[in-house]
C-alpha cells in the first residue's frame, strides 16, 4: 500500500512544518515527535538538504512529511495545511517569515534570539495577538521542572553568576551563522547570552514575569572581543536590577564548554549551582547542588556541607517545550476571542485558563530578554558604557 503522507494526518494531529533544515532543528524534530506532535512538512532551498534531513531525522515517522524545495520552498510550506511552523532561520529573517506564518494562520515556534530588536519582536507579538495565533521562543531549559525548582530555591536572591562558553573550531568561525553580521549579528551575546539573561530574569522574578516591570535598571558589556565583521565572540556582561541585585555572565565562543550558573542571596545559608544548566546530562534524573561553607580553626580551614536536589527527567526539556507549545496554542485557539487582549500590559492572548496565562508569561519573558540584549549590544557600540534599560511598556 502507498505510504500515507503526514499532510493527510495534519487535521487530526498537531501538525508542524519546519522552515529550514538548521542543525538545531534536528533535535527539535525528534522532541516534537515525542511530544505527540507530527512533522508534516519540511522546507529547504536545497532539495538534497531537505531529503537528507528527512532521512536522518524523520525516517521512523509513521507518515512521511511533505518536502518543499527550491527558491519558493518556504512560501509553499506556509501555504500548506498545518497547525504551526518552527522557524530556525537566521535572526535577520525572523520578522519576514513570522509575519508570513501568522498571516497564513499558523502558530509559530521561533528560535532565539527572536528578533533584531525588541521593537521588532513587539510587532510580531501584536500580529500574533491580532491573528489569534501563538508565538513562542524556542528556549528549551525554561520548560523543565528542574529550572523551575532551581529558580526559586534561594530565598531573596541578589546575585546570579553564569558562565556559558564553548570553544568554536576553525569551521565554526568560517561558516557558522552565529558569527556572521548578515545572520545572527549579536554573536555570543545573542546566542549564549540569551540563556544567561533568561536565567537571571527567572530567578529575580521568582517565575512571575509580571514582577519584572520597572525592575531591570541597566546593562553593560565590560569587556568584549569582536571579529572583522563587528560580531562579538567573547563578552563579559553585567545586568543591574532594582534592590542591588546583579546578573553577571561570561559568554564566549573561544573558551572550553562551561554552562555553570550560581545563585546566592543575602541571609541564605546555601548557594545554589548547576554545571549543566542549558545542555543537561543524560539520565533519568537531573540535579542541582546546594552548598554551605563555613570557617573553623581561627578562620584558617573551610568546611563544606552540600546536598544534591534531584528532579525527574522522564521528559527531557525539548519534549517539555513542545508539549507546552502545543497545549498553549490549542488553548489560545479556544479562548483568545473571549475578551479583549491588552498588549501594552503584556497580555497578547485573552482567556482565563492557566494555559493562556502561562503563554502570556513566556511571551513577556521573551520580550524582556530581547530588551536586555538590545541594551548590551548598545553598550558594545558605546565601547562598554552602562546603558539604561527600559521596560517593554516604555520602549
User: CA-to-CA distance for 359 and 369, rounded, in angstroms?
Assistant: 16
Q: Give me the mean pLDDT over the 329-339 stretch.
A: 82
* 140: nearest Cα among 15, 42, 237, 280: 280
Residue 341: CB partners within 8 Å, gap ≥ 6? Answer: 129, 347, 348, 349, 350
Q: Is the pLDDT of residue 334 over 70?
A: yes
Q: Is the pLDDT of residue 12 over 90?
A: no
3-state secondary structure of 9: helix
Q: Give me the mean pLDDT over the 218-241 stretch.
A: 98
User: CA-to-CA distance for 33 and 375, rounded, in angstroms?
Assistant: 37
Q: Is the pLDDT of residue 13 over 80?
A: no
What pLDDT is attached to residue 10? 42
User: CA-to-CA distance for 25 and 17, rounded, in angstroms?
Assistant: 11
What pLDDT is attached to residue 339? 61
What pLDDT is attached to residue 340? 65
For residues 95 and 124, the answer to whether their CB atoms sit within 8 Å is: yes
Starting at the earlier edge strand, list the strands of the sheet with 14-19.
Answer: 66-69, 37-44, 14-19, 84-87, 107-110, 135-137
What angle is formed at CA 262 by the lines to CA 258 and CA 266, rounded to 5 degrees?
A: 165
Question: In terms of DSSP bridges, do strands 301-312 and 387-388 run parallel, antiparallel, or are they unpaired?
Answer: unpaired
Per-chain mean pLDDT for the chain: 92
What pLDDT is attached to residue 229? 96
What pLDDT is attached to residue 369? 98
Q: Is the pLDDT of residue 178 over 60?
A: yes
User: CA-to-CA distance for 306 and 270, rounded, in angstroms?
Assistant: 8
User: CA-to-CA distance for 109 and 188, rounded, in angstroms?
Assistant: 21
Q: How confident is the model at residue 394 (pLDDT cuts 50, 70, 90)?
A: low
At residue 226, φ and ψ (nearest 5 deg) are -120, 150
Per residue in 292-305, pLDDT (tens digit) is 999 988 888 999 99
Rounded to the nearest angstrom, the gap between the alpha carbon of residue 3 and the centroid of all alpha carbons in its chain is 35
Per residue in 118-157, pLDDT (tens digit) is 999 999 999 999 999 999 999 999 999 999 999 999 999 9
The half-sphere exposure of 149 on its side-chain side, counting CA atoms within 13 A, is: 17
Please give the grid coordinates belonging to residue 118.
525588541
Does the N-terminal peptide bond of residue 113 adopt cis geometry, omega within 30 degrees of 0?
Answer: yes
Q: Is the pLDDT of residue 3 over 70?
A: no
User: How far are the Cα atoms of 5, 101, 374 from residue 76, in angstroms, in the given order?
Assistant: 16, 11, 33
The distance between the two most distant Cα atoms of the chain, rounded to a whole number of Å, is: 81
For residues 339 and 349, the answer to whether their CB atoms sit within 8 Å is: no
From first CA to last CA, the distance across the chain in angstroms is: 58
Identify how many contiguous H helices and E strands the chain contains and give both numbers: 11, 15
Q: Give me the mean pLDDT over the 369-378 stretch.
A: 98
User: CA-to-CA distance for 122 and 128, rounded, in angstroms?
Assistant: 10
User: CA-to-CA distance for 16 and 212, rounded, in angstroms?
Assistant: 32
Per residue in 76-95, pLDDT (tens digit) is 999 998 999 999 999 999 99
* 18: nearest Cα among 83, 88, 104: 88
User: CA-to-CA distance for 18 and 32, rounded, in angstroms?
Assistant: 11
Please give the grid coordinates belonging to residue 128.
500574533
For residues 375 and 389, the answer to whether their CB atoms sit within 8 Å is: yes
Amino acid at each position: 500500500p502507498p505510504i500515507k503522507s503526514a499532510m493527510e494526518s495534519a487535521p487530526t494531529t498537531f501538525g508542524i512544518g519546519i522552515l529550514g533544515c538548521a542543525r538545531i532543528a534536528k533535535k527539535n524534530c525528534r522532541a516534537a515527535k515525542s511530544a505527540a506532535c507530527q512533522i508534516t512538512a519540511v522546507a529547504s532551498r536545497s532539495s538534497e538538504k531537505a531529503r537528507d534531513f528527512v532521512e536522518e531525522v524523520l525516517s521512523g515517522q509513521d507518515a512521511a512529511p511533505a518536502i518543499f524545495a527550491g527558491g519558493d520552498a518556504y512560501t509553499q510550506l506556509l501555504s500548506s495545511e498545518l497547525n504551526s511552523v518552527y522557524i530556525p532561520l537566521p535572526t535577520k529573517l525572523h520578522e519576514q517569515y513570522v509575519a508570513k506564518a501568522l498571516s497564513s494562520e499558523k502558530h509559530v515556534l521561533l528560535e532565539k534570539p527572536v528578533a533584531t530588536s525588541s521593537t521588532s519582536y513587539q510587532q510580531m507579538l501584536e500580529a500574533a495577538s491580532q491573528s489569534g495565533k501563538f508565538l513562542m521562543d524556542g528556549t528549551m531549559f525554561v520548560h523543565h521542572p528542574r529550572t523551575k525548582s532551581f529558580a526559586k530555591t534561594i530565598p531573596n536572591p541578589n546575585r546570579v553568576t553564569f558562565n556559558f562558553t564553548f570553544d568554536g573550531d576553525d569551521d565554526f568561525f568560517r561558516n557558522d551563522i552565529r558569527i556572521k553580521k548578515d545572520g545572527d549579528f549579536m554573536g555570543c551575546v545573542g546566542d549564549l547570552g540569551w540563556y544567561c539573561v533568561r536565567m537571571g530574569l527567572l530567578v529575580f522574578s521568582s517565575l512571575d514575569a509580571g514582577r519584572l516591570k520597572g525592575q531591570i535598571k541597566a546593562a553593560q558589556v565590560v569587556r568584549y572581543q569582536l571579529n572583522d565583521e563587528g560580531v562579538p565572540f567573547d563578552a563579559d556582561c553585567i545586568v543591574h536590577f532594582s534592590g542591588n541585585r546583579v546578573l553577571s555572565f561570561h559568554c564566549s565562543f573561544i573558551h572550553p564548554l562551561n554552562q555553570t550558573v550560581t545563585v546566592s542571596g543575602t541571609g541564605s545559608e546555601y548557594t545554589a549551582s548547576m554545571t549543566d544548566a542549558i545542555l543537561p546530562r543524560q539520565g533519568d534524573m537531573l540535579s542541582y547542588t546546594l552548598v554551605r561553607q563555613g570557617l573553623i580553626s581561627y578562620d584558617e580551614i573551610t568546611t563544606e556541607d552540600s546536598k544534591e536536589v534531584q528532579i525527574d527527567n522522564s521528559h527531557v526539556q525539548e519534549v517539555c517545550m513542545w508539549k507546552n507549545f502545543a497545549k498553549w496554542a490549542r488553548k489560545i485557539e479556544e479562548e483568545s476571542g473571549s475578551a479583549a487582549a491588552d498588549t501594552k500590559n503584556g497580555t497578547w492572548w485573552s482567556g482565563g485558563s492557566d494555559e493562556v496565562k502561562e503563554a502570556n508569561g513566556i511571551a513577556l519573558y521573551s520580550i524582556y530578554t530581547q530588551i536586555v540584549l538590545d541594551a548590551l549590544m548598545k553598550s558594545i557600540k558605546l565601547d562598554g558604557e552602562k546603558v539604561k534599560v527600559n521596560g517593554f511598556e516604555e520602549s
